[in-house]
Amino acid sequence: IKFSISSRPSGSPLTPTAQPMHWIYNPDRLNEVLSDLEPHPEFRPLSANPFYRRTTGEQTCYGDQAYVLLESLSQCGGTGLLPKQGRFYKFFGPGTVYDLPINDPYRKKGGPKAILPIDGPWRNAKPGDKKKRIINSNQLPSYIKYLKTLKLAPVVAMFAGRPEMLEKVESAIRVTQNNDMCVAVTLAAARFLEGFILKGPDPDALDAVVAQLSDPNRKNPQDLDRAVIAHISQVKENLAKASHQLIPASGANDGASADNWKHACGRLCPALPGAFQAALHGVLTMKQLEEAVRDTMRRGGCTASRASFIGACFGAQTGLRGIPESWRKRTLRYPLLLELAENVVSKRQQS
């Protein structure tokens, strides 16, 4: 098994690269922002995020969710998933930097609207979800984003190669997104990441995951696995195309049907399964971490979530040497992330 601190996966350090350009859906604005940065759009000094603004180098809410799991696993090892609800509440709940009026899912309808971008982090909520989530006897808002593949990296790193890996990933995901499609896609993403951790670069990774999902005796089977296979097959059919042909940095649909992959691949519709397809396409077609992250940033939309999964997969294949030194220095929490990752590896080896 190829597993050491130098080959550990972690998508969290990659969300700060795209954080200042996160959620830009206006194509003219995207092109304007890119024109000032090319050929290195990462770590824009001043945020161009139209929804929220954080200091460059800080995490997005996606990276912070992964961080909570990484910290828990670092401190508690394989049992670190057990108290995860309380940890999420402590990190994202009342009295935290996420405790902002715009992040309150219980604010009165028709009340004052926030002036965007807000000054602080954005806690995602599932559109239309009016139910309260009770966790450890506390009310925890549903700060949910559709693409949960980015939160899986610490969990897969801890349990890669072990029969309970998929079960652990599902358990972690359903804390904040108890949605069958989300879980099915995330488990497929976990299979890809596990393969890279155990084998390193693998040109047959896509076929291997499809074979696993097609196995009637597969672990953690999901009712939507066939649908996920179809989405992965769409990626395979388009591997010869560049991302700009599939995820145009444009707000126009160009007459495409709603199910056209161009429209669903994470740029115009930044929700599952499209964002996973876009990120997977980058993982399978790009040779280096930098070019893959920069390429997905040029497509706009939910850049941080795609960059996170891309970073996890490349990190699993290349280790620390694959992350540019300048990126590490500009990630504000990087020393702590490295320390926590080392602890996870140590506890994994002890268990």
Q: Look up tokens 């770590």; give the residue.
A: 43
Q: Look up tokens 């996890």; give the residue.
A: 312
Q: Look up tokens 């200042």; give the residue.
A: 20
What is the per-residue pLDDT across 286-329, written as a single tens digit (0 to 9) for each?
999 999 999 999 999 889 989 999 999 999 999 888 899 999 99
Among 277, 336, 324, residue whose Cα is nearest residue 302: 277
Per-residue pLDDT, 347: 87
Beta strands in the chain (DSSP E): 52-53, 118-119, 134-135, 138-139
Per-residue pLDDT, 320: 86
Per-residue pLDDT, 292: 96
Sign of CA dihedral 194, 200, 203, 204: negative
* Backbone angle region of 53, left / alpha / beta, with phi > 0 → left and psi within -120 to 50 → alpha: beta
The answer, yes or no, to whether residue 183 has pLDDT greater than 50, is yes
Is residue 140 a contact partner of residue 134, using CB atoms and an 8 Å limit?
A: yes
- 47 labeled binding residue: no
What is the per-residue pLDDT across 87-117, written as a single tens digit (0 to 9) for each?
888 888 888 998 887 766 556 777 667 788 9
Q: Beta strand 52-53 with 138-139: parallel, antiparallel or unpaired?
A: unpaired
Per-residue pLDDT, 5: 43
* Complete domains list, the chain, with CATH: 5-350 (1.10.4080.10)
82 vs 212, higher pLDDT: 212
The answer, yes or no, to whether residue 129 has pLDDT greater than 90, is no
Is residue 53 a contact partner of residue 115, using CB atoms and an 8 Å limit?
A: no
